[in-house]
Amino acid sequence: MSGLSARERILTKLRAAHATPLSCPDAQAFYPAAVEDQATRVERLMLNMKNAMAETHRCSASRLADCLALIFNEKQLSSVAIGPELLADQTLCDQLRNQTMLVPVTALRVDQPALFNTVDAGLTLTQGGIAETGTLVLKSGDESPRLLSLVPPVHIAILNASKVVDTLMSLMVKENWAAGLPTNVILVSSPSKTADIQQTLAYGAHGPKQLVVVLVEDR
C-alpha cells in the first residue's frame, strides 16, 4: 500500500474490517417534549444561570436602555464594545452613549487591540437560550463578531425571553441546524472559569470574569 496516500491507506484498512452497519439510534426520542409553559422555562434558565455565577437582570423592551445604563453605572464600565447587530438600533445606541463610551466593532480585525487592551465590556445580542443547562446561544455572522463575547473582562448578553427553549436538542430540531450551521455557534453557560490549580474554582481564566444576562420580556 506504499504508493497510496495516507487517506487511501487509512480508508482501505477501515473498509477491510467489514464492520456490520448497525441501525441509526434515534437520539431525539430520548428527549420528550417539555410540558412546562414558557414562563416556567425562562425561570429555569435564569435559575441555572444564576447558580453558574452569571449575573441576571430582567426588563421590558422599552426599559432595556435604562437597565443597561444601570449595569454600566454600577460596574463603572467606561467603554463598551458593540457590533453591527446593536449599532443598527440608533435609539438604543444614543441612549447608551449618555452612560458610557461605545466602541463600535465594525471593521475586520482593526478593533482587536482595543478589545484586548482597553475595552471594559462587550455587549451582544443572543440568538437563543437553553433552559435545561442555563445556556446562551451565540451565532457568528456579519453582524455578530465572535470576540465581543470573549475578550473583554465583562460580557453582557441581551436575551429575548421568547427565544428560550427547553433543550439543545429541541433547539437543533426546531431551527433545523442539520441543514447547515453558521461559521461558529457558541454555547455559553457561565463566566470563564478553571479548576486546574488544586481543584480550586477561579473565574476569569481566559474569557470574561463576569457574565451578565439581561432578559428582555415582551409583556
In the list 28, 60, 118, 162, the residue contacting other proteins (rule: CB under 8 A) is 28
CB of 128 to other proteins, least distance (A): 13
Separation of CA 11 from chain center: 37
Spatial CB neighbours of 167, under 8 Å, sequence gap ≥ 6: 31, 34, 130, 131, 132
Instruction: Please give the single-letter amino acid code of residue 197.
Output: I
CB of 182 to other proteins, least distance (A): 7
The whole-angstrom separation of Cα 138 and Cα 37 is: 24
Stretch that binds other proteins, among 9-17, 34-42, 56-64, 71-79 (CB under 8 A): 9-17
Nearer to other proteins by Cβ, of 10 and 61: the residue is 10
Q: Is 49 in the site for other proteins (CB under 8 A)?
A: no
Site string for other proteins, 91-120 (x = CB under 8 A): --------------xxxxx--xx--x----
The whole-angstrom separation of Cα 73 and Cα 147 is: 23
The whole-angstrom separation of Cα 146 and Cα 139 is: 8
Using an 8 Å Cβ cutoff, are 120 and 152 in contact?
Answer: yes
| Binding to other proteins in span 194-213, by CB under 8 A | 194-200, 202, 204-208
CB of 156 to other proteins, least distance (A): 16
Stretch that binds other proteins, among 23-31, 66-74, 94-102, 156-164 (CB under 8 A): 23-31
Q: Residues touching other proteins: how many (CB under 8 A)?
A: 78
CB of 99 to other proteins, least distance (A): 24
Q: Is 187 in the site for other proteins (CB under 8 A)?
A: yes
The whole-angstrom separation of Cα 216 and Cα 62 is: 9
Tell me the CA distances in angstroms from 57 to 49, 51, 68, 207, 215, one per residue in order.
11, 14, 9, 21, 6
In the list 37, 74, 142, 218, the residue contacting other proteins (rule: CB under 8 A) is 142
The whole-angstrom separation of Cα 86 and Cα 28 is: 35
The whole-angstrom separation of Cα 164 and Cα 178 is: 20
Q: Is 3 in the site for other proteins (CB under 8 A)?
A: no
Q: Is 146 in the site for other proteins (CB under 8 A)?
A: yes
In the list 91, 178, 218, 219, the residue contacting other proteins (rule: CB under 8 A) is 178
Q: Is 152 in the site for other proteins (CB under 8 A)?
A: no
The burial of 174, by beta-carbon neighbours within 10 Å (0-12 exposed, 13-18 middle, 19 or more buried), is given as exposed
